[in-house]
């Protein structure tokens, strides 16, 4: 057995389910790791008695903040080229002017460059991002396909995500997002049939994705389409998730509640009635403050009614070529300042909330006995610095499943 003892943590956040302050703040307490899991939390002398004559590694945490690794439950991190020119042009130009300057933009540009990237390029660029995310404390990441649309590229992306699961230090979960857009030559109706009949059975057979996602919005997929696609996803062993109520409200949240989706992202246009339905159905709301910031959203999401109704919420980066954010703390900083969340709400949403959104909270998302030891140790005098110090990385060590990997 391997033991690591985190001695006398200045601040330890357990973020346990029933924490009254949402984050389970403890001071001057120790944590014992046995192999991959958390064995005990308590007074230093007591924990030392546990492992009496055995060898163990000890880290003095008297000047450190110890908390769960971040769970980034919504990313599109596998893609071809960056869209930096389009992004910087958007500072001063409107859509029309950008189109005249840059022939291929948006989703179309990302689909083109992703299709034309080699496996090696996609794996290497993804690993670079994942390693940087790890250094910022992110220990679990969800990754979506969706920049392929055609069968070959979508399946290739999902297979590459499976390779990332082996190569990257984080726990990774994968999502089939064929319904990010559709094949314009085929048309939407035929494309839905194609996803259901030709792509999903292969995903099921080869175990390529845990979730099935869809973009529910005007001009994309409506509520009926969502129901059809996500129901088929369920039949092929994929839990439903949605991008919905981002730029319009066309019924995606109701479908999410009906199908008991794992999570729904964006929610700028969510109604009070839908919040009730999502809460009842145990669907986690994934809030993405960086996207509201990047696109200068005219209707920023409002977490207050969701929190008032005790709906579970998560915060994610939504890392993608139009919103290149790897550091969860950027999302948390914006969630607090722009959307009036408290620091404790933001921390809970970025850890346990993310784990709930991915339905892995039995094992991840908080520091509790029996859960995996996914821990960040910060050289810090206050946990509140996570939403205070811009661009300052206080993460000193990251422990993943009981192993110090950074």
* Contact pattern from residue 39 through residue 58 relative to Zn ion, giving x for each residue in contact according to CB under 5 A and a dash for the rest: --------------------
Nearer to Zn ion (CB atom), residue 122 or residue 264? 264
As a three-state string, the secondary structure of 345-373 is HHHHHHCHHHHHHCCCCCCCCCCCCCCEC
* Contact pattern from residue 21 through residue 40 relative to Zn ion, giving x for each residue in contact according to CB under 5 A and a dash for the rest: --------------------
Dihedral pair phi/psi, residue 335, rounded to 5°: -60, -40
- As measured in angstroms, the least distance from the Cβ of 287 to Zn ion is 12
- As measured in angstroms, the least distance from the Cβ of 323 to Zn ion is 8
Q: Is the Cα torsion angle 339, 345, 349, 351 positive or negative in sign?
A: positive
- Which class for 248: exposed (0-12), middle (13-18), buried (19 or more C-beta within 10 A)? middle
* Rounded-to-integer distance, Cα 86 and Cα 103, Å: 10
- As measured in angstroms, the least distance from the Cβ of 281 to Zn ion is 21
HSE-CB for 175 with a 13 A CA cutoff: 31
- As measured in angstroms, the least distance from the Cβ of 36 to Zn ion is 30
Nearer to Zn ion (CB atom), residue 44 or residue 215? 215
Dihedral pair phi/psi, residue 144, rounded to 5°: -105, 150
| Number of chain positions touching Zn ion (CB under 5 A) | 1
As a three-state string, the secondary structure of 184-218 is CCCCHHHHHHHHHHHHHHHHHHCCCCCEEEEEECC
Nearer to Zn ion (CB atom), residue 26 or residue 318? 318
* Contact pattern from residue 318 through residue 357 relative to Zn ion, giving x for each residue in contact according to CB under 5 A and a dash for the rest: x---------------------------------------
Nearer to Zn ion (CB atom), residue 79 or residue 191? 79
Q: Which stretch binds Zn ion (CB under 5 A): 124-132, 267-275, 295-303, 316-324?
A: 316-324
Contacts (Cβ under 8 Å, ≥6 apart) of 53 = none
Strands 263-266 and 138-144: unpaired
- As measured in angstroms, the least distance from the Cβ of 320 to Zn ion is 6
Number of CB atoms found within 10 A of residue 346's CB: 29
Among residues 248, 139, 236, the alpha carbon closest in space to that of 178 is found at 236
Contact 325, 318 (CB under 8 A): yes
* Rounded-to-integer distance, Cα 102 and Cα 137, Å: 36
Nearer to Zn ion (CB atom), residue 11 or residue 245? 245
Strands 375-379 and 313-315: unpaired
Instruction: Identify residues 60-119 at the interface with Zn ion (CB under 5 A).
Output: none
Nearer to Zn ion (CB atom), residue 7 or residue 356? 356
Contacts (Cβ under 8 Å, ≥6 apart) of 159 = 206, 208
Q: Which stretch binds Zn ion (CB under 5 A): 23-31, 46-54, 186-194, 317-325?
A: 317-325
Query: Which residue's Cβ has the minimum distance to Zn ion?
Result: 318
* Contact pattern from residue 272 through residue 311 relative to Zn ion, giving x for each residue in contact according to CB under 5 A and a dash for the rest: ----------------------------------------
Nearer to Zn ion (CB atom), residue 144 or residue 378? 144
- As measured in angstroms, the least distance from the Cβ of 24 to Zn ion is 30
- As measured in angstroms, the least distance from the Cβ of 74 to Zn ion is 6
- As measured in angstroms, the least distance from the Cβ of 246 to Zn ion is 9
- As measured in angstroms, the least distance from the Cβ of 290 to Zn ion is 11
Nearer to Zn ion (CB atom), residue 30 or residue 318? 318
Torsion angle of C-alpha atoms 260, 265, 269, 271, degrees rounded to 10: 30
Nearer to Zn ion (CB atom), residue 213 or residue 374? 213
Nearer to Zn ion (CB atom), residue 44 or residue 221? 221
- In the sheet that holds 70-72, the strands lie side by side as 70-72, 138-144, 171-179, 211-215, 239-244, 263-266, 284-287, 313-315
- As measured in angstroms, the least distance from the Cβ of 243 to Zn ion is 5
Q: Which stretch binds Zn ion (CB under 5 A): 198-206, 312-320, 330-338, 379-387?
A: 312-320
The site for Zn ion (CB under 5 A) is made up of: 318
């Amino acid at each position: 057995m391997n033991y690591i003892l985190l001695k006398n943590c200045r601040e330890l956040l357990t973020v346990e389910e029933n924490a009254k302050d949402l984050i389970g703040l403890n001071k001057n307490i120790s944590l014992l790791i046995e192999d991959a899991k958390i064995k005990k939390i308590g007074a230093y002398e007591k924990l030392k008695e546990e492992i009496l004559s055995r060898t163990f590694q000890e880290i003095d945490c008297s000047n450190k903040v110890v908390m769960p690794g971040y769970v980034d439950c919504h990313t599109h991190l596998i893609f071809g080229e960056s869209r930096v020119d389009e992004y910087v042009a958007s500072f001063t130009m409107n859509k029309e002017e950008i189109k005249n300057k840059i022939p291929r933009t948006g989703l179309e540009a990302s689909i083109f460059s992703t299709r034309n990237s080699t496996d090696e390029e996609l794996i290497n660029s993804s690993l670079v991002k994942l390693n940087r995310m790890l250094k910022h404390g992110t220990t679990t990441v969800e990754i979506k396909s969706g920049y392929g649309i055609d069968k070959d590229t979508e399946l290739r992306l999902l297979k590459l995500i499976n390779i990332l699961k082996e190569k990257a230090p984080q726990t990774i979960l994968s999502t089939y997002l064929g319904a990010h857009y559709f094949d314009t030559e085929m048309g939407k109706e035929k494309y839905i049939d194609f996803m259901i009949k030709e792509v999903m059975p292969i995903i099921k057979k080869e175990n390529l994705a845990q979730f099935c996602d869809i973009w529910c919005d005007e001009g994309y997929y409506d509520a009926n389409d969502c129901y059809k696609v996500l129901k088929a996803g369920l039949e092929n062993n994929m839990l439903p998730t949605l991008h919905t109520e981002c730029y319009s409200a066309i019924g995606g949240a109701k479908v999410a509640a009906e199908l008991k989706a794992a999570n729904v992202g964006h929610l700028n246009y969510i109604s009070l009635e839908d919040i009730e339905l999502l809460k009842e159905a145990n669907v986690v709301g994934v809030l993405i403050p960086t996207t509201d910031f990047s696109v200068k959203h005219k209707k920023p999401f409002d977490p207050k009614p969701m929190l008032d109704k005790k709906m579970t919420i998560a915060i994610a980066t939504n890392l993608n070529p139009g919103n290149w954010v790897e550091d969860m703390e950027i999302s948390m900083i914006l969630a607090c300042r722009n959307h009036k969340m408290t620091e404790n709400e933001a921390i809970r949403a970025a850890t346990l909330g993310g784990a709930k959104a991915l339905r892995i909270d039995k094992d991840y998302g908080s520091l509790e006995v029996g859960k995996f030891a996914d821990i960040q140790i910060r050289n810090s005098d206050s946990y509140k610095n996570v939403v205070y110090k811009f661009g300052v990385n206080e993460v000193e060590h990251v422990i993943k499943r009981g192993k110090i990997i950074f």
